[in-house]
Amino acid sequence: MREVAVIGVGMTKFGELWAQSLRDIFVEAALKAIDDAHVDRVDSMYVGSMTPGLFVGQEHIGALMADYLGTSSIPAVRVESACCSGGMAVRLGFFEIASGHSDIVLVGGVEKMSDGADVTYALATAADQEYEVYHGVTFPGLYAMIARAHMHEYGTTRKQLAMVSVKNHHNGSFNPNAQFPSEITVEQVINATMVADPLTVLDSSPVSDGAACVILASMDVAKKMQNPLIKILGTGAATDTLALHTREDIATLKAVKLSAKAAYDMAKVMPSDINLAEVHDCFSIAEICIIEELGFVDKGKGGPFTEQGRTALEGLIPVNPSGGLKSKGHPVGATGAAQAVEVVEQLRGAAGKRQVKNARIGMTQNMGGSGASSVVHIFALQK
């Protein structure tokens, strides 16, 4: 396979973007990425989006976005894998270039969640409709079960869960694109409105609008560009059972572990080589489980690891320097692409006050549903 690099990145602010449509926000992010890459063409386009048909009544968005971007002659397709649609779009773009079929590919994600749709219903389509949703269990309840199982099995505390949110809001306070760039306290998290015991609203990612895009290119093309050279060393993806009740252990995210192993193997690196990671903290418990599955800490030790500050900006392995889904926001189809934007900016040394020192290798981990799908990418700054 050919080597693949990221030559441009762009994203919108995340939040309730009332004045912009689905197409507006995608085109904004795409144009920023194109300008950043200094290219005048792309060979094809992948658009990650979970469920625009339910959120805004619009399907066929690959063609729509190509049309409004002014590139309607190129192949353009929507990618869907629930909340990891954006990450899967990056993966497909990577393989198109690695195969030699294209030289420059625009990949991104977009979602508009705040325009009046039944968000709970739309998101619940990524869970098992017959065995979970029919009986009234949606994602807050599913992740609350994961949290209770993890607390029971490993002694994870309520304070440790809250510290995930506190840390990510601290990071997000330095991110101009974050939906909630404000500091919060452990007490505020614990005493916030209960959503699904033990998770409160401040353990939970918000409803968001937004888009993010990256421009991928073959290494031959990338070496001619102005920006620092960021290579994709590895990619991995995996799935698990959709419903929690069919898993061997609901406190284990098997798809995350398998996708990470595939990415590590391809990149020829180990967890200890990673300088920072953007992970899918849709709920505070998710980040604790994910850092265990990624191999940053032993199984069951994610809570204490977080409490000790090991995942903070100045910690052993900074996790979610962008603020994560919790503070930055979670327009579901855009999240995986936005994670890639953050890692590229970090490796370029362009992340401002949230810059991780000596960042050379970064990881993104994007997840769908309650862990039924996961995609991991590993990026490295090339000298």
The set of catalytic residues is 83, 330
- The residue ranges of DSSP E strands in 85-148, in sequence order, are 104-112
Nearest to 225 by CA among 383, 36, 3, 360: 36
**Residue 300 per-residue DSSP state:** T
What DSSP line would sit under 6-55, residue for residue?
EEEEEEPPPB--TT--HHHHHHHHHHHHHHHHT-S--SEEEEE-S-HHHH
What DSSP line would sit under 178-242, residue for residue?
-S------HHHHHHSPEEETTEEGGGBPPP-EEEEEEEEEEHHHHTTSSS-EEEEEEEEEEE--S
- The answer to whether the bond into 198 is cis (omega within 30° of 0) is yes
Residue 111 CB-half CA count within 13 A: 34
CB atoms near residue 99 (< 10 Å): 10
Q: Are the C-beta atoms of 270 and 264 separated by less than 8 Å?
A: yes
CA angle, 25 then 14 then 323, to 5°: 145
CA dihedral 290, 201, 327, 276 (to 10 degrees): -10
- Which contiguous run of DSSP H or E holds residue 373? strand 373-382
CB atoms near residue 116 (< 10 Å): 8
Would you state the structure tokens that stand for residue 268, as one six-digit string? 């020829």
Cα 117 → chain centroid: 22
Residues contacting 129, CB < 8 A, separation 6+: none
Between strands 104-112 and 209-218, the pairing is antiparallel
